[in-house]
Amino acid sequence: MNGCSYIFYTPEYQYEGMPHGEMCGDLMPFYENGVYTFLYLYKYCIYAVETKDFVHYDNFRIVLQNGTPLEQDWHAATGSVCKCQGLYYFYYTGFCEGNRGEKGKYEQGILRAVSKDLLTWEKDKTFAFYPDEEHFAGRHWRDPHVFWNETEKKYMMLITACEKDGDKNRSGCTAVYVSDDILNWEYYDTICSPRIYPTMECQDCFELNGKWYLTYSSYEKQWETKYKIADSFHGPWITPMWDDKFDGRDFYAAKTVSDGKSRYLVGWQSIRKDCKNDGQYVWGGNVIVHELIQRENGELGVKLPDTIRQEFKIPLTHNIVPKCGKWDIGRVINGKAQDGFGHIEISPMKNVCMIKAVLRWTKETQAVGIMFHIDGARMEQWCQLRLEISHNKIVFERSGKTEKDQFFDEERPIHFRMEQYAEITLLTSNDIVVVYVDDVALCGRCYAYTAGHTGVFVEYGEVQIDEFEVFEGKEQNRIVKNSAE
C-alpha cells in the first residue's frame, strides 16, 4: 500500500482523477485489549487497519471480498462489529444495483459475517435481512449498527430506514430491532423520525453520564455528521439548540468507539476532485479521529486525542517578523490594527506540524486568527483560521479564491468565552488541516501549498498572543507523504 499510515490514515496516495471508493470510506471502529480496529469501505470491499494510539497504523488487511453482480453484496458496505460469547459478528450492508426495480428483490440488504479472531471472516450464507415493508418503506435499508443495550438487556440493531408512508426526501428514520442472542432479530421500535432528512446514515448510539446520544450522517444540504440527545434510549431525541454537528462539511460518516474511559469519533475527511482546491468533494478520504467531550449542558464537543497531541513535542525556533499593523513584542505579543488587517510572522512551519496558541482580544475587535503556509514576497500564498468574534464563528480560508463551483470557505458556529480568549490547536499534514478552537473542530484541505511560515493576524481591533508554539512530530520519518507535498 502507498498511502499514509501516520495520524491521517488512508490506503492510497491522492492523485488526479481518483475514482469513487479509492480512499477510506465509512469507518467502523471496534476496540478490544488496547487495540482499535478500523473496518472501512475500499474498492467495494471491506478492509481493516489497526492502531493503538491514532498515530501509527498497521496490520492492513481485507475483511470481506465483495460478491458477484448476481449476489446481494456485489458491493459490500457499512455495518458494525459486536462480540458475543467469544465470537465476533459483523453485520454489514449488501448493495446489488442489479436488483433495483426487480420484483421480489432489493437493492439493499443486511448481511452477516462471523470471525473467531477479527482476522479471518466467513460470510454467513444463511442470513439475509431484507427491508421490513410491514413497518418501513423498501427504499433504504442499510448501515446496521449492533450494540449491547445495558438498560434493555438486549442487543440492539439500528438501521438506516424510511417511514413506510413518508415523503420521499423527508422520511429518513432510525429503525430498531432487538435480539437476545445476536442471531435472531425482531422489530422493536422507530426511535427517531424527524421528517427532515432523506436518510440518517451510519448511525451510532451510546449512553454517557445519564444522557443518550444518537449520531448520524446526512446529506440533505451537504455532507454533515450530526447528533441528537435524549434522556433515555426511547427518546424523545432532541436537536442541540446551538450546533448539532461535530465538524465541517469535509467530515462524514463518523461512528464512535470507547476504550472504557474515553469515547472517540472516527470518520473520514473528503478529498477534492483532481486534488485541487476548487475541485468538488469526492466520496472517501483520510481518517480523522476526534475525542468527544460532554459539556455541562449535556451537549457534545470534541478535542484532539491526547495521544496525537503528545506526538508533537519538538518545538521549532521562532523567527518573529512584524509585517503590518502595530506590534509590541515582549513576554507576550500585543498587536493593533484599528484600520483593517495587521499580521505578524512568528515561526517557520513544516508540512506536518502542530500549532498551539492562546489568543486574547478586546471587546470591539472584529476578527483574530492564525495564519499558516504564508509564502511569497507579497504574501501570494496563505491560509488562515479566522475567529470572527462578532459573528460567533470560525472560518478556514485560503489565498487564490475564485468563483468556481464548490469553492467556498469551511466554517463552524462557536460560542466564544466571555473572557474573550480562545485556545487553538491546528494540525497540518501536507494538504490536510484540522483545527480545534476550544472544543469546536473544523477540518479542510489546502492543496499544492509550500510549508512557509505561520503567525497571527488581527482585523479592526487588538490581539494579545499569550502562547504560540509550532511543533513537529517525534517520528517524521514514518510519514508516507501525500502527493500534494
Q: Please give the torsion angle defined by the CA atoms of residues 355, 361, 367 and 371, in that order, rounded to the nearest 10 degrees.
A: -20
What is the tens place of the pLDDT at every residue in 14-35?
Answer: 888 888 888 999 999 999 999 9
Residue 406 pLDDT > 60, yes or no? no
457 forms bridges with which residues in the sheet?
Answer: 343, 369
pLDDT in tens, 214-239: 999 998 778 899 999 999 999 999 99
Q: What's the whole-number mean pLDDT along residues 175-185?
A: 98
Q: What average pLDDT score do residues 91-101 get?
A: 93
Identify the weakest region by mean pLDDT among 101-105, 184-188, 202-206, 364-368: 101-105
Q: Give residue 477's pLDDT.
A: 45
Evaluate if residue 482 carries a pLDDT over 60: no
pLDDT at res. 480: 39
User: What distance separates the 2 farthest-apart alpha carbons in the chain?
Assistant: 76
From 3-7, 142-146, 478-482, the region with the lowest mean pLDDT = 478-482
Report, as an integer, the average pLDDT of 91-106.
92
- For the domain 25-309, what is the CATH code? 2.115.10.20
pLDDT for 481 equals 41
- The CATH code of domain 313-478 reads 2.60.120.560
Which H, E and C letters describe 186-243, residue by residue? EEEEEEECCCCCCCCEEEEEEEECCEEEEEEEECCCCCEEEEEEECCCCCCCECCCCC
The residues spanned by each domain of the chain are 25-309, 313-478
Helix (H) / strand (E) containing 58: strand 57-64
Percentages of the chain per state (helix, strand, coil), in multiples of 5:
5, 55, 40
- % of the chain exceeding 70 in pLDDT: 96
Q: What is the mean predicted confidence (pLDDT) over 421-447? A: 96
* pLDDT tens string 104-140: 899 999 999 999 999 999 999 999 999 999 999 988 9
CA atoms of 28 and 218, how far apart (whole Å) = 17
CA 48 to chain centre: 17
Full 3-state SS string of 38-102: EEEEECCEEEEEEECCCCEEEEEEEEECCCCCCCCCCEEEEEEEEEECCEEEEEEEEECHHHCCC
**Residue 267 to residue 289: CA distance in whole angstroms:** 7
Return the C-alpha cell found at 386: 479566522
The per-residue pLDDT of the chain, averaged, comes to 93
- φ and ψ at 289, to 5 degrees? -120, 120
Pairing of strands 201-208, 35-42: unpaired
Place 7 in a pLDDT band, splitting at 50, 70 and 90: very high
pLDDT at 404: 61
pLDDT in tens, 325-355: 999 999 999 999 999 999 999 999 999 999 9
